[in-house]
Structure 1
């Protein structure tokens, strides 16, 4: 089975969570595999064009949801872009005990689940 191409959308303040997820997937005990297509550094003024190309080339977009998401303009744009391109989205709570009380409108209709291997694996396998 080939690896799925997954774009990881995250607030820059939550970069360590993205790094953890990528590392988790490389663990030999990990039940899931994917190719990380997230934006690792800011682009010039054409970043939205470049970002859209990456998102369009992915099987899905995994959104790391934290209290920072609501104010993360780039992340919110990525979510909107994925919806426009009809790329499947799944949210995972970045922190078990620190969840925002409300989600931004961009996440309307996006299922947000606990960050577990089973939840991530099942979603990736469904792509």
Structure 2
């Protein structure tokens, strides 16, 4: 079973919940991990988050207009790249696509084919 870290802006928590729920309903064989926090993150959070990312087979970034200002999500993307963990962006919705996306992040539409193809490639 693949372990997938989900990175997202806290404003996009409902999309994370939707992704996890859809995966359960589809009985997709992978486990989702995230490091959601409701308060400012610190050095301990970064250390724990890096450990979790390194322990995952891949990272899915839920990308929206909120991503550009989501310090935690941007740090998670940077961390995954530094650790060599495969990463894929998925747009939260077609009408919520940002003008710019994090540098070097390949972002695809939210379809089960796109999500499962990424996971199966790991």
User: If the length of structure 1 is used for normalisation, what is the TM-score?
Assistant: 0.88
Question: What RMSD, in angstroms, separates the aligned Cα atoms of the two structures?
Answer: 1.4
Q: Distance in 2 between matches of 1:5 and 1:11?
A: 20
Alignment correspondent of 2:36:
40
Q: Distance in 2 between matches of 1:95 and 1:16?
A: 12
Alignment correspondent of 2:70:
72
Is the 2:10–2:36 contact (alpha carbons within 8 Å) kept by the matching residues of 1? no
1:92 partner SS: strand
Q: Distance in 1 between matches of 2:29 and 2:93?
A: 22
In the alignment, structure 1 residue 97 sits paired with structure 2 residue 92: no
What is the CA-CA distance between 1:74 and the residue it aligns to? Answer: 0.4
Alignment correspondent of 1:88:
86
Structure 2 unmatched runs, 5+:
none
Structure 1 unmatched runs, 5+:
none
Equivalent residue pairs, number: 120
2:93 partner SS: coil
Alignment correspondent of 2:112:
117
Q: Are the structure 2 counterparts of residues 35 and 67 from structure 1 closer, same or farther at C-alpha, using a change threshold of 3 Å?
A: same
What is the CA-CA distance between 1:33 and the residue it aligns to? Answer: 2.8
Structure in which a larger fraction of residues adopt helix: 2
Is the 1:32–1:124 contact (alpha carbons within 8 Å) kept by the matching residues of 2? no
What is the CA-CA distance between 1:41 and the residue it aligns to? Answer: 3.1
User: If the length of structure 2 is used for normalisation, what is the TM-score?
Assistant: 0.92
Alignment correspondent of 2:8:
10
